[in-house]
Amino acid sequence: MVKIVPNILSIFRICLVPVFVIAYFTDDNDIKYYAILVYFIAGLSDFLDGFIARKFNAQSKLGKLLDPLGDKLMAFTVLVCITITNTASRPFLISAALVFFIKEILMGIGGLVLHKKAHVELPPANFIGKASTIVFYAVFIALMLFNIPNFVVIILVSLAIGLSLIALAGYIYSYIKIMKSRSKITGENGEIECNQQSVQDVNEIRQ
């Protein structure tokens, strides 16, 4: 029973996305209290599903899809909502949203290619990736709590996007390393050659 809890939490977080949108745009207060509460609950569910999955060895292929999907959908939705209401910083925030969207599309395509051609999955979030997620949460909550000057908004969002792009660079490096290792262990006719070192490289990346 415990093994399905992380997936239930991830699905719950995905369901919170439209709830956040409703809470954000129906709250007439300058401080979006209800939206912040929904966002906090989403962040808590993200922490809990990861903790339970590791603690009880309840990781699954479905969970590896649902967990990042819930995170990215919520983050992108929050960024779009803030962009719509923050007229002063809107041009910059639109650019940030586009960068965020393109980055996630590239990672999704890379993951699909790895799964199909190399039969491995994109490595999980590294330290920078996790740090960028935390920074996104902090920045978005700050933007919903306070009337922040335009230049500070640009600095905070740039920091979050910058960390996200650094994480993307790490994923691209892993992708290239995996594909190079695959080419070493695959012969011209698709037969796997006895190259122990190359096999070890792929196994190290999988871990």
Q: pLDDT tens digits for the chain (207 residues)?
A: 777 999 999 999 999 999 999 999 998 877 889 999 999 999 999 999 989 988 888 888 888 888 888 988 999 999 999 999 988 889 999 999 999 899 889 888 887 887 787 776 656 666 777 788 788 888 899 988 888 898 999 998 899 889 888 888 888 888 888 888 777 665 544 444 434 444 444 444 444
Q: What is the pLDDT of residue 65?
A: 84
Give me 37's structure tokens.
């509460």
At how many degrees (to 10) do helices 61-85 and 90-113 cross? 170
Q: What is the pLDDT of residue 207?
A: 42
Q: What is the pLDDT of residue 195?
A: 42
Burial 185-206 (b: 16+ CB within 10 A, else e): bbeeeeeeeeeeebeebbeebe
Domain ranges of the chain: 1-85, 87-207
Assign 3-class secondary structure to 151-201: HHHHHHHHHHHHHHHHHHHHHHHHHHHHHHHHHHHECCCCCECCCHHHHHH
pTM for this predicted structure: 0.79
Spatial separation of the C-alpha atoms in residues 88 and 45, rounded to whole Å: 32
Q: Cα separations (Å) of 133 from 88, 91, 122? A: 24, 23, 17
Q: What is the pLDDT of residue 124?
A: 60
